[in-house]
Structure 1
Amino acid sequence: MPAKKSSQVATQSQISIHNGSSDDHDDDDDHILEDDANIRQMVCASIQYILVHSSKLQVIKRLEWINTVLRPMAYDGRKYFPSVHKHVVRILNDTFGYKLVFDEKHDGYVVVNALTKGPLEHRPLANSNQYSKYALLMIIVTCLKRAGGEMASVDFWGILGETFSIRNDESTRLSINQHKIFGDVQKLIKTDFVKEGYLIFEQAKDFTGDTPTQTVKLGFRAQQEFPDETVEKFIEKIDDYGIESDKEDENENNAMDEDN
């Protein structure tokens, strides 16, 4: 879904504000929003700020939100943040169908599509020309989920090498790194997916004197956008095409061992 223009975002935000709220919301907060034009402006500006940043899949830092949006509009932006945050969460959910999820590690927020239709629709502002990129991400996330959320780097690249001929060797020549489907796949996996919060490459501590090992883990955004039930549905679709999962192979081997 393409990003909405700032004017469209502001209009929809103001419509939601002036239309009132559901019974689930505090009347006092609604009256404050109706009576205080300054807070209304801060809410509208905050929604625009969030949607623009979420289209780039960036973590929306709480302090940057306050300093960039609220502080220029009020002397003490922190004072207004709790009220503005509450209304922003409500409007994003009711008007746009998005959830604002707090990432404690980075003291910021990510935006997740609350209107779940399938694994590629969790991303709020993804468009069709990005589907090959996120199809690869879906496979990577599924592998990591089945491995308990992390795996050794050598196993991670081994799976990608066998499946897509993607190997962990980055050349200084850009043409060599170009994958026929995913483009600059090294940058995509090691830089883009990491920066966007989907993957974490972590160097394991070396206490034995051996060569340090690297692990690959699921990032915060991946955990939010790809819940377990979505991954299971994805695996079921793979099974429908006759691709056996590791779990089935393991069960068959166990049965053979029992027979023997």
Structure 2
Amino acid sequence: MMHLTESSNKFFHDIPNPFERRQFAFRVLPEEKDPMSRAKNYSFIMPTLKLRLQQLITTNLWEYIMFILSIWSFISLLIGHKIPEMRIFFELTHEITQAALFIEVFCKLYADARWFFYDIWNFYDLICVIVNSPFVYNLFVSDYLGVPQINSIQRLFRTLHAIRLIRIHSLLRFVLETIFIALSSIYNILLLEFVIVTVFALLSIAFEGDTSFWNSGTYEPYENYTEALYSYYMCITLEGVNEVAEQILQLDSPQFTTVIGLIFYIFAALATYSVGQLLAGILKK
């Protein structure tokens, strides 16, 4: 397996990467300086188109445009349902972001398909284009699901599309990769904690509504085990969050690791609390 990976990496590294950002503006191609010298064969038109498309997606201007569109996708997802009067406007802007992502995916596939699948984020972009296309909803989803379910799936797919700003912004991408490195280093510990929480949750649901061993008229500390589940979930999950944050702080590259560790701890703690509240609310019902 290692030999296959090394040979694959060597094969791709031998191919010049056409998607590296090089310049802000377009360069004048040699054949465009004197186009009539090769016009009789018309052979320079398609190579010129390929280079132009390649230059389009490697300019910083295009990256800035995609970054702004991705941020706007998040904004429209968060406030779109609160302003029903602007629903048509939000739908129109989402179509623009979909079209921009489709243009980039098409340009990369046409410029050099070999390098397209070398970067996992390019494959992610292709998935976003497919799942957000009307073709999926009209032929597959609409026949089996109702309108509420389709709306939920559509919001999920659009959220996946909006997450693309991680692919664009170098700092956000560095944060994500740092967190993944920390998670991979303590994978076994987190897996054990997840199994413990899952088993405890199943037991709590199974014993929900049971009366205590003591007399039912007396104080019952965990009447339906909801409080026990919530308390244990918070303790064990925050312990895992603390371990991940410590692992981030111990990474070899000191740049931004302290800030990333603290930010991860804060956001993970908030997420843990939110999921815990949701879990407790579900069990109480």
Greater per-residue strand proportion? 1
TM-score by length of 2: 0.29
TM-score by length of 1: 0.31
Task: Tell me which structure has the larger Cα radius of gyration.
Answer: 2
